[in-house]
Amino acid sequence: MTTLVRPSDTLTRDALTVLQPGFTGTSAPDWLLRRLGEGLTSVGLFGRNIASPDQLAALTAELRAEREDVLVAIDEEGGDVTRLEVRGGSSFPGNLALGAVDDTQLTHDVARELGRRLAECGVNLNWAPSADVNSDPCNPVIGVRSFGADPQLVARHTAAYVEGLQSAGVAACAKHFPGHGDTAVDSHHDLPRIAADLRTLQERELVPFRAAIAAGTKAVMSAHILLPALDGTRPATLSRDVLTGLLRAPVAEGGLGFEGLIVTDGMEMRAISATYGIERGSVLAIAAGADAICVGGGLADEATVLRLRDALVRAVRDGELSEKRLADAAARVRALARWTRSAGAAQGTLSGERGVAPAPEAGLVAARRALRITRNGPYEPLSAPAYVAAFTPVANIAVGDETPWGVAAELGRLLPGTETGTYGNAGAVAAGTSARTEEILRAAGERRIVAVVRDAHRHAWMTDALDALLDTRPDTVVVEMGLPQAPPRGALHIATHGAARVCGRAAAEVIVGH
């Protein structure tokens, strides 16, 4: 790696300041601490960096010892997308569950408690909430991460979430601007295109972001999506028309008037990396109006940081990127770092005092209220060990496959001896639906069956398997832990509106009649 400038150079410091990189391990590597001393201001944490709250607190203290005002960011939406509880499942339901309850005070309280736990661990920037309007029920990447399909509902809960999170001293980051809800493509894999006209975008996608800005969100994350109504050439993350001409422009000029930090979604996602490459993509993003480059979900090493730093420096020297634009972006990062420092001090989180009263049951209360229960005739609660048949789709990258989900663990706690089997698409294709049904019936024996599905409306193999199982065992309990679009079926049907651990617990309580 060729270093173009001295580490003390102002240009180099600015280039480092606008990066939000990740790293591997549960303690800070030497290279990361060294770069913090040279100007790096932000660090992104992922599930691989977290083993326990105490370990996380020690890690962030290690970072803060090197740079007192460091921004420690995390992708902690709660619900299906959790990093804080990546190996056990979240203590909080996700956005769809909160939207289903539609109590903005509850959403505020859940976000505040989540923020309190993050702040206690030294995390001060959360890449949440998702402000996307999930207008396409077949969306493969948003789904239960959205508060719902109604723009006004999404708007009021986005605002409540922002206010709750920031009341705990943690900066919110509304995402994915200008809205990732109307896509049938996951931007982790390819470049989605939203064909909606400008009027539709104004009346649907942009409504929650206006609410987030009005609520004072400190950051907004851009989406790697192409919207021809705004820019027919470049995705939103790289589009000056979207980031500067729309998000940043004054309200009087038709913009949203946002003055806070604009953060990109992960630059190694294929919607950017496969077309532009992360170096050129980062230069274009800063030039378009972004202030911080998120990278590290997949590329988490020093070489990546140096590549991006040097690409930005080179772009300024070659005249491709304005030095003032880079300096302005770095200034916004530092301004947010100062805000988090003062907000943390106000809450007492940096001194170890408790500035926000704990509400440990907030997530479970919300999960219980979010349940939608349909009975097909009289239902006899389970009182003996059951057999859980979990029909498991491939998890999208945002959710990840390392986080457990379902009802088996919680049902087993209430009904010891309960067993579970996992059934995926590959097995269904190989065995055929009838053979799969026979396999489940053999495993279950005389025990009642609890079938757990996730977005059954999006997976024909799952629907077929459920149909065949219900034909044979109509007393089966069905738990839908994704978007409840399919008609309720089973002796008892429970829609949890998400697959967090607390959603599984709430469903298990109903199954046994608690």
Checking if the pLDDT of 399 tops 80, the result is no
Query: Could you report the per-residue pLDDT of 318-374, keeping only the tens digit for each?
Result: 999 999 999 999 999 999 999 999 887 666 654 444 567 888 899 999 999 999 999
| Total Cβ atoms within 10 A of residue 68 | 10
**Mean per-residue pLDDT of the chain:** 91
Checking if the pLDDT of 40 tops 60, the result is yes
Query: Could you report the per-residue pLDDT of 152-201, keeping only the tens digit for each?
Result: 999 999 999 999 999 999 999 999 999 988 776 555 555 788 888 999 99
Dihedral angle computed from the Cα positions of residues 133, 140, 129 and 399, in that order, rounded to the nearest 10 degrees: 170
End-to-end CA distance of the chain: 61
Assigned token pair, 10: 């102002």
Please state, for a pLDDT cut of 70, what percent of the chain lies above it: 92
Residue 280 contacts residue 314 (beta carbons within 8 Å): no
Checking if the pLDDT of 425 tops 90, the result is no
**Which residues carry out catalysis?**
188, 265
Residue 508 CB contacts under 8 Å (≥ 6 apart), including other chains = 407, 410, 411, 413, 414
Residue that is written with structure tokens 């998120």 in the block: 294
Instruction: Quote the pTM value.
Output: 0.93
Q: What is the DSSP string of 74-129?
A: E---BTTB-STTTTT--SS--HHHHHHHT-HHHHHHHHHHHHHHHHHTT--EE---
- What average pLDDT score do residues 251-260 get? 96
Closest C-alpha to 218, from 328, 129, 99, 349: 129
Residue 54 contacts residue 68 (beta carbons within 8 Å): no
Query: Could you report the per-residue pLDDT of 315-330, keeping only the tens digit for each?
Result: 999 999 999 999 999 9
**453 bridge partner residues:** 480
Q: Tell me which DSSP letter residue 269 carries.
A: S
Checking if the pLDDT of 4 tops 50, the result is no
